[in-house]
Amino acid sequence: MLTPTAEIVGPAAAAGRGVGAFNVIQLEHAQAVVAGAEAAGAPVVLQLSENAVRYHGALEPLARATLAIAHASSTPVAVHLDHATDAGLVREAVALGLGSVMYDASTMSYVDNVATTAAVVEHCHAHDVWVEAELGEVGGKDGVHAPGARTDPGQARSFVAATGVDALAVAVGTSHAMLTKDAALDLDLIARLRAEVPVPLVLHGSSGVPDDDLRRAVVAGMTKINIATQLNKAFTAAVRAHLADDPLVVDTRKYLGAGRDAVAAEVTRVLGVLT
Ligand code: G3H
Ligand code: ZN
Which domain, by its residues, includes 27?
A: 5-274
207 lines ligand 1 (CB under 6 A): yes
Name the residue with the closest Cα to ligand 1, atom 2: 226
CATH code, domain carrying 18: 3.20.20.70
71 is in an annotated binding site: no
**Domains contained in the chain, number:** 1
- Which residues are part of the catalytic machinery? 82
Give the CA-trace dihedral at 161, 162, 165, 171, to 10 degrees. -90
Q: pLDDT tens digits for 244-253?
A: 999 999 999 9
Residue of the nearest CA to atom 10 in ligand 1? 205
pLDDT confidence tier of residue 179, bands split at 50, 70 and 90: low
pLDDT of 31: 98
Is 29 annotated in some ligand binding site?
A: no
Q: Which of 20-24, 50-54, 64-68, 176-180 has the lowest mean pLDDT?
A: 176-180
Start-to-end C-alpha separation, the chain = 19
Of the chain, the percentage scoring pLDDT greater than 70 comes to 95
Query: pLDDT tens, 60-71?
Result: 999 999 999 999
Task: Confirm or reject: Cβ of 23 under 6 Å from ligand 1.
Answer: yes
> Greater confidence, 182 or 189?
189
The dihedral sign for the CA sequence 67, 7, 163, 216: negative
Is 106 a pocket residue for ligand 1 (Cβ < 6 Å)? no
Pocket test for ligand 1, best of 176, 201, 232, 273 (most atoms within 8 A of CB): 176
200-159-148 Cα angle (round to 5): 80
How does the average pLDDT of the chain come out, rounded? 95
